[in-house]
Structure 1
Amino acid sequence: MLRSMYAGISGMKGFQTKLDVIGNNIANVNTAGFKKGRVTFQDLLSQTTTGASGPTDDRGGVNPSQVGLGSQLGSIDDIHTQGFSQTTSNPLDLQLEGDGMFVLETPNGQAYTRSGNFYLDTDGSIVNSDGYYLVGSDGNSPLTIPDDATSINIQKDGTVSYVDGQNNVVNDQQIGVAVFSNPAGLQKDGGNTYLETDNSGEANIAAPEANGAATIVSGALEMSNVDLAEEFTEMITAQRGFQANTRIITTSDEILQELVNLKR
């Protein structure tokens, strides 16, 4: 009798985690470069009441009899599909079309992001909203634009061009894009950034359009890939699953109460 109660508890815990992930997805529906999460479940070990047996000369085979003990969290995956595009006409707003991430130089080392809202600081360096430097295709050098530069333009291959104070066109810098063999293995670090892990593979930093890397669209941002209609559907499913598991516990408790009352 108690097995059903523990199975219900495990189901409630799992659906609570699913609701947590759904809530985070919905909260970041307008976050540039955000990648939605997905929860998967696995069944727990089953208790075997009778084992399986093969056929004999005078008797056929018998299947095993097992009682499941509930469910457990299988994984929480990041879905790295292309997000929705939003046109801004700001030349320093950059969207990646395809695989890869922008490379940022932080005080703790390199980080990676799909959020392309960049700015110029007082030194002319291209930085994100947290002041992290955007790194070039060599994987090390931050990108800078002089104070007197005009007609800033960023091409599809990441080349940064501008007109300097002597009316010369300068295009000697190129934005770097990091490609990973398993982007789902990256670790979220907050602030729209990801960190490399043992399972993501090493970052292969190259110019856009090289080695399968994404192309860059200037004047646009990649928004979140969260679909609200899908999230609301998943939320209803998770809510009903949670309610059903609470009903299992309630029903099991009522049956236990009946057993206690048999003594009276």
Structure 2
Amino acid sequence: MDALIYTVMSSAERALKAQQVHANNLANLDTGGFRADLELATSQAVGGYGYDSRHMSRLQANAVSGGEGVMRQTGRDLDVAIVGDGLFAVEWQGGEAYTRSGNFSVDGEGALTVNGRPVLGDGGPIVLPPYTSLSIGVDGTISILPPGQNDMQPVDRLRLVRGEAAELTKNEAGLIVARDGAELAVDDTVTLRSGHLEGSNVSAIGEMVATMNLNRDFEIQMRLYKAADDMAEAGNRLMRD
């Protein structure tokens, strides 16, 4: 009965945290390029002498869904979507992190940004010279039409990388990073579609079903907790008798 309480209470806590994971996914249903978080539970032994038979449920909410979101056409030159696997690289705390969001902007100094973060190219953060027209190729090459000229000129290329979903997680800013902290290698096979944006890959139905299942799990855990309490009380009566 003592061993059961460890499992029941930790499982109830895991259900609560898992609910938070799914609630965050639902909150980002319309966030462009958002990758759903996956809640993974593992068994963890309780440390200390005499606790070998006691195990707890541990939530690991640091996996990222690799599914693709729905792509929609915008017609905007600075909107690009990745076709298949791949990630855009952005500057983060002196290094780099990654995102699927391709709704780029150009600030007053010509810096290419996404959600306020500098976008990385072959030589670091991309800064564009003055232009009258801009295009982004399928390989990430950025070309501009300088004022007073008639021909497009390539100026930089987006840093496009690829990583296995099982090797990726998210940092505190919600950006995708490698689980081991290393930078992902550039992958020249990643292709883009200009004038399009990718939506979130969150499935509203899937998240709601998962939430209902967690509610049922919590109810079962509370029944088990009551059963453990009844067993403890029965043991106490036997000892008193």
Q: TM-score if structure 2 supplies the norm length?
A: 0.83
Alignment pair present for 1:195 and 2:180: no
8 Å CA contact 1:160, 1:173 repeated in 2:
yes
For residue 225 of structure 2, give the secondary structure of its aligned residue in structure 1. helix
8 Å Cα contact 2:41-2:58 kept in structure 1: yes
Gaps of 5+ in 1: 47-66
1:243 to 219, 232, 235: 219
2-side partners of 1:255 and 1:12: how far apart? 19
Q: Are 1:133 and 2:85 matched, yes or no? A: no
The 5-angstrom pairing of residues 1-264 of structure 1 reads 1-44=1-44, 69-73=54-58, 75-76=60-61, 77-106=63-92, 108-130=94-116, 132-136=117-121, 138-140=122-124, 142-146=126-130, 149-198=131-180, 201-206=182-187, 210=188, 212-213=189-190, 215-260=191-236
Describe the SS at the equivalent of 1:249.
helix
Tell me which residue corresponds to 1:56.
none
Cα deviation for residue 121 of structure 1 reads 0.7
Residue-pair matches, total = 234
Give me the whole-angstrom Cα distance separating, in 2, the residues matched to 1:225 and 1:116: 14
Alpha-carbon separation, structure 1, partners of 2:93 and 2:43: 43
Offset of 1:258 from its aligned partner? 4.5
Matched-pair identity in % = 27
Q: 2:138 is aligned with what amino acid?
A: K
- Give 1:94 deviation, angstroms: 1.4
Q: Which has the larger radius of gyration?
A: 1
Q: Distance in 2 between matches of 1:229 and 1:115?
A: 23
**Residues 94 and 221, structure 1, Cα contact 8 Å, conserved in 2:** yes
Q: Distance in 2 between matches of 1:107 and 1:68?
A: 44
- Following superposition, the deviation at residue 111 of structure 1 comes to 2.4
Q: String of CA shifts for 1:58-95, please: whole Å, max 9, x gaps.
A: xxxxxxxxx97455226331112212213222211111
Check 1:198–1:3 CA distance in 2 against 1; reply closer, same or farther (3 A cut). closer
Unaligned runs of 5+ in 2: 47-51
> Contact conserved, 2:65 with 2:165, CA < 8 A, in 1?
no
For residues 100 and 226 of structure 2, the distance between their equivalents in structure 1, rounded to whole angstroms, comes to 46
| CA offsets 1:151-173 (integer angstroms, 9 cap, x no match) | 32222122222322223223323
Shift in Å at residue 2 of structure 1?
2.4
| 8 Å CA contact 1:139, 1:205 repeated in 2 | no
Q: 1:24 to 1:103 in 2, by over 3 A?
A: same
